[in-house]
Amino acid sequence: MTKVLTDARSIRIKGRSFLAVMLSPDLPIDDWLIRLDDLAARSAGFFLGRPVVLDVTDLQIDRPQLKDLIAELAKRNVSIMGIEGARPSILGAGMPPALKGGRSASDIEVQANDPVDPVGKPPAAEPRPAMQSIVIREPVRSGQSVIFPEGDVTVIGSVASGAEVIAGGSVHIYGALRGRAMAGSIGNASARIFCRKLEAELVAIDGIYKMAEDMAPNLRGQAVQLWLEDDAIMAEKLI
């Protein structure tokens, strides 16, 4: 007997991108976990509900060590959505899926069929379009997140404790920064953070983070700009 479908319905499949946090452990893992615990303790809820990718590129660990690492992260409520850079031999059933193809906005690809000059060098890359920007004309309240990986974020008001602003470019805050501000979130070491009053829980540029209490006491409550220099966040008062 042949069954005839009289009410056929299509299945809708959509693509959607999310900004994920990339964790790149280093050895020894126990020491790295201590530093992670310090970050989580001083910035409560940083990983809560946030997609996280585990980058183990060039990390010399075997499958049992990787499983132990994932388990330790799970104990800390860090849910790994995927693993990047893992050798196939260390992946197994029950682990997050392998990911590849993630890249920062600053990457430039030359296709295999692009013309090459006689000495074997690819042609000069065309200039990338200028980064975009958005303006938030109201305060960012506790529990709210502003995420804009395409460029700069400007907040006319303040950023409350427990709130966060994440930008692919620079972050400009014309009020008090009491929450978290992360600039250069997808690979932009030249991004900066500017705020009228520094009282932040956490600041980060291109994946390098710093807690406000780790900064010079004379910067607290001041108008400040922050930038990255030799893998360290620098800060100075705005005149």
For 133-178, the DSSP string reads EEEE-S-B-TT-EEEETTEEEEESS-B-TT-EEEESS-EEEEEEE-
pTM, two decimal places: 0.58
Tokens of 227: 């930038």
Sign, CA dihedral 185-203-199-169, equals: negative
HEC secondary structure over 57-80:
CCCCCCHHHHHHHHHHHHHCCCCE
Q: With bands split at pLDDT 50, 70 and 90, how would you rate the model's confidence at 48? A: low
Q: Which helix (H) or strand (E) holds 238?
A: none
- Residues 157, 138: Cα–Cα separation, whole Å: 5
Q: What does the buried/exposed string (b/e) look like for 82-103 if buried means 16 or more CB atoms within 10 Å of the residue's CB?
A: bbbbbeeebbeeebbeebeeee
CA 118 remoteness from chain centre: 40
Q: Could you tell me whether strands 180-183 and 164-167 are parallel, antiparallel, or unpaired per DSSP bridges?
A: parallel
Per-residue pLDDT tens over the stretch 54-100? 888 888 888 888 888 888 888 888 888 888 888 888 887 788 888 76
What value does the mean pLDDT take over residues 4-29?
66
Higher pLDDT, 64 or 105: 64
pLDDT tens for residues 130-148?
568 889 898 998 888 888 8
In tens, the pLDDT along 23-32 reads 888 888 888 8
pLDDT per residue as tens digits for the range 176-231: 999 989 998 878 889 999 999 999 988 988 888 888 778 888 889 899 999 998 88
User: Around Cβ 113, how many Cβ atoms within 10 Å?
Assistant: 6
CB atoms within 10 A of CB 67: 15
Dmax over Cα atoms in the chain, in whole Å? 83
